[in-house]
A and B are shown apart, each in its own frame.
Chain A
Amino acid sequence: MYHFDWITFWNYIWPPSAFQNPLIRNGLIATILVSIIAQALGVILGLIAALGKMSKLAAFRWLSEIYVWYFRGTPLLVQMSLLFFGLGVTHIYNFPDIVVGAITITGAIQAGTLALGINEGAYMAEIVRAGIESIDPGQMEAAKSLGMTSGLAMQRIVLPQAAKVIIPPLGNEFNNMMKTTSLMEVISAGELFFGFNQINARVFKPFELYIAASLYYLVLTTIWSFVQARIESGLGERKGLERGPGMMQRLFGSSGEGAH
């Protein structure tokens, strides 16, 4: 019978002791910041790639297609390793540590964030494109008939409407993103999972520590679910969007009767 070490367990999840540990505190901060920055990068790249896919210029279309094809068709773990170790060894680019005051942003964190963001962009491209395509083409025509160029019409008329379609899946992407940051462990970027692995290397309590680690992610994704529900209901109230899934369905997944 395994003896569960409650002391170790509490020690690494309960403040203040848990947050006094720099591996956990900095790891948690890194996980949150990396998630936000990588997701933002993904949205920007996804928007560019989605517009590229619909471009009149064949070169943009091809570039966007290849981007999405490659980054959705290969494992993120491999992409991340290639970007960090692969580029490093060729001396094409070595990610240098950046020091801003008391904070050091390690090369691994930069490479990991970049890999996550580029990978995410490929998925966001499809989400953005589906959002744009869900808008009645009559909207673009009406805008053009008023003398707007397609760029202005996209920016002012189509994208604001598409945003309502894009935001719910974008929220789900961010939920995934927070969990996927743990893959950065392979390049030893100092995020949360890396921190727990470091601790485990010292105290060897994998059962307790990995349960503790999982709870951190669970708290993050749960908080995000509430934020997401607020955002979506706000959108719905203002602009007549359909109601998003309820809180229970969001947390426990759609099941039987709840699904439609």
Chain B
Amino acid sequence: MVTPNVKLADSNIIVKAEKVNKHFGSLHVLKDINIEVLKNEVVVIIGPSGSGKSTFLRCINHLEKINSGHIYVNGHMIGYHDRNGKLVEDNERNIARQRAEIGMVFQRFNLFPHLTAIENIIEAPTRVRKTPADQARADGERLLARVGLVDKRDQYPNQLSGGQQQRVAIARALAMKPSLMLFDEPTSALDPEMIGEVLDVMKELAHEMTMIVVSHEMGFARAAADRIVFVDEGQIIEQASPDDFFTKPRSERTQLFLSQILH
């Protein structure tokens, strides 16, 4: 069944959040978040620990429910539909269908440990998209080549380094051909010497697809971001191009935060 969704006019807007609020019990984690992300734009979200960055990403693919507001991806409202003026949560199948269009990369990789690299990659295409196995495998190998890991095809995750695991995880998300990729601190669980290889893969992806990246890798932000969004205490404090953001931050909180992370 296709539920009627509120369509947005501008097909160039991939993500649109309107007055999004999220509470965990009495904790108000996201406060009236408004943001639009355009096609092929790379948005880097930074902010102090606990400011709600991960929560916002998780709301975009409905791993967390929002308490009020709307989130649209590709013009479709995420997680809810309108029934006689009231928002009702979608059924699981619809939510799953929407999530299939949104790739997510986690801080702790979350590869499936009982599957090899290639099996990790083809699992969702074959089971969710019903892609024939040989085609999924061919696609998967191409993706592994793209992240530089064809020779690791048959290794289990625990036989791979952290950086390699994260690259497989990126390939796994790409295998669903998503129109949007979400990255939640993809390099912060990695040893320093492995951060570069993951960021390189991400830089290659940038501008080929729409990406929202939570990261404190300022070098990456400078090089790849179109826009930097600074979040504090569940609010968007400031957004600007990397140049403007780093050279002339407007708010005091941004200045304070930058002085702390740039030493």
A residues lining the B interface (CB < 8 Å): 136, 138-139, 141-150, 152, 156-157, 160-161, 239-240
A7 to chain B, nearest CB (A): 56
Q: Which residues of B contact A139 (CB under 8 A)?
A: 110, 112
In the assembled complex, the Cα of A136 lies from the Cα of B106 at a distance in Å of: 13
Question: Quick one: which of A142, A148, A160, A240 contacts B127, CB cutoff 8 A?
Answer: A148
B166 to chain A, nearest CB (A): 12
B93 touches A149 (CB 8 A): yes
Asked if B152 is at the interface (CB within 8 A of a chain A CB), the reply is no
Q: Which residues of B contact A150 (CB under 8 A)?
A: 92
In the assembled complex, the Cα of A240 lies from the Cα of B157 at a distance in Å of: 11
Asked if B104 is at the interface (CB within 8 A of a chain A CB), the reply is yes
Asked if B117 is at the interface (CB within 8 A of a chain A CB), the reply is no
Q: Which residues of B contact A145 (CB under 8 A)?
A: 61, 63, 99, 102-104, 173
B92 touches A142 (CB 8 A): no
Asked if B203 is at the interface (CB within 8 A of a chain A CB), the reply is no
B173 touches A136 (CB 8 A): no
Count of B interface residues, CB-CB < 8 Å: 30
Q: Which residues of B contact A138 (CB under 8 A)?
A: 106, 108, 110
Asked if B44 is at the interface (CB within 8 A of a chain A CB), the reply is no
B99 touches A146 (CB 8 A): yes
Q: Which 9 A-B pairs have the closest CB atoms?
A: A147-B100, A146-B124, A142-B110, A145-B104, A138-B110, A147-B128, A149-B96, A147-B99, A147-B96
Q: Mark B95-115, 1 if CB is under 8 A from A, else 0.
A: 011011111101010111110
Residues in B60-110 with C-beta less than 8 Å from chain A: 61, 63, 92-93, 96-97, 99-104, 106, 108, 110
A136 touches B100 (CB 8 A): no
A and B contact pairs by CB, cutoff 8 A, 8 listed = A141-B106, A142-B169, A145-B61, A145-B104, A146-B123, A150-B92, A161-B114, A239-B113
B29 to chain A, nearest CB (A): 17
A142 touches B176 (CB 8 A): no
Asked if B227 is at the interface (CB within 8 A of a chain A CB), the reply is no
A144 touches B106 (CB 8 A): no
Closest to B125 in A: A146
B99 touches A144 (CB 8 A): yes
In the assembled complex, the Cα of A157 lies from the Cα of B61 at a distance in Å of: 19
A180 to chain B, nearest CB (A): 32
A136 touches B114 (CB 8 A): no
Asked if B137 is at the interface (CB within 8 A of a chain A CB), the reply is no
Q: Which residues of B contact A143 (CB under 8 A)?
A: 112, 124
A144 touches B96 (CB 8 A): yes
Question: Quick one: which of B103, B112, B158, B176 contacts A240, CB cutoff 8 A?
Answer: B158
In the assembled complex, the Cα of A157 lies from the Cα of B63 at a distance in Å of: 17
Q: Which residues of B contact A136 (CB under 8 A)?
A: 110
Most buried by A among B100, B124, B129, B172: B124
Closest to A240 in B: B158
A146 touches B128 (CB 8 A): yes
Q: Which residues of B contact A148 (CB under 8 A)?
A: 96, 124, 127-128
B121 to chain A, nearest CB (A): 10
Closest to A161 in B: B114
Question: Given A146-B123, A146-B124, do A240 and B100 touch, yes or no (CB 8 Å)?
Answer: no
In the assembled complex, the Cα of A157 lies from the Cα of B169 at a distance in Å of: 15
Question: Quick one: which of A147, A160, A161 contacts B97, CB cutoff 8 A?
Answer: A147
Task: For the A-B complex with A143-B124, A147-B97, A240-B156 known, give 19 more contacts whose Cβ atoms are closer than 8 Å.
Answer: A138-B108, A142-B104, A142-B106, A142-B169, A143-B112, A145-B102, A145-B103, A145-B173, A146-B128, A146-B173, A147-B99, A149-B93, A150-B92, A156-B127, A157-B112, A157-B123, A239-B113, A240-B113, A240-B158
In the assembled complex, the Cα of A157 lies from the Cα of B106 at a distance in Å of: 17
Closest to A136 in B: B110
Q: Which residues of A contact B169 (CB under 8 A)?
A: 142
Most buried by B among A143, A144, A147, A156: A147
In the assembled complex, the Cα of A240 lies from the Cα of B56 at a distance in Å of: 35
Q: Which residues of B contact A161 (CB under 8 A)?
A: 112-114
Most buried by B among A139, A141, A146, A161: A146
Question: Given A139-B110, A139-B112, A149-B92, do A144 and B128 touch, yes or no (CB 8 Å)?
Answer: no
Q: Which residues of A contact B97 (CB under 8 A)?
A: 147
A193 to chain B, nearest CB (A): 41
Question: Quick one: which of A141, A146, A152, A160 contacts B172, CB cutoff 8 A?
Answer: A146
In the assembled complex, the Cα of A240 lies from the Cα of B103 at a distance in Å of: 28
B220 to chain A, nearest CB (A): 22
A30 to chain B, nearest CB (A): 37
Q: Which residues of B contact A149 (CB under 8 A)?
A: 92-93, 96
Question: Given A141-B63, A141-B110, A152-B127, do A147 and B176 touch, yes or no (CB 8 Å)?
Answer: yes
In the assembled complex, the Cα of A164 lies from the Cα of B108 at a distance in Å of: 22
In the assembled complex, the Cα of A147 lies from the Cα of B112 at a distance in Å of: 15
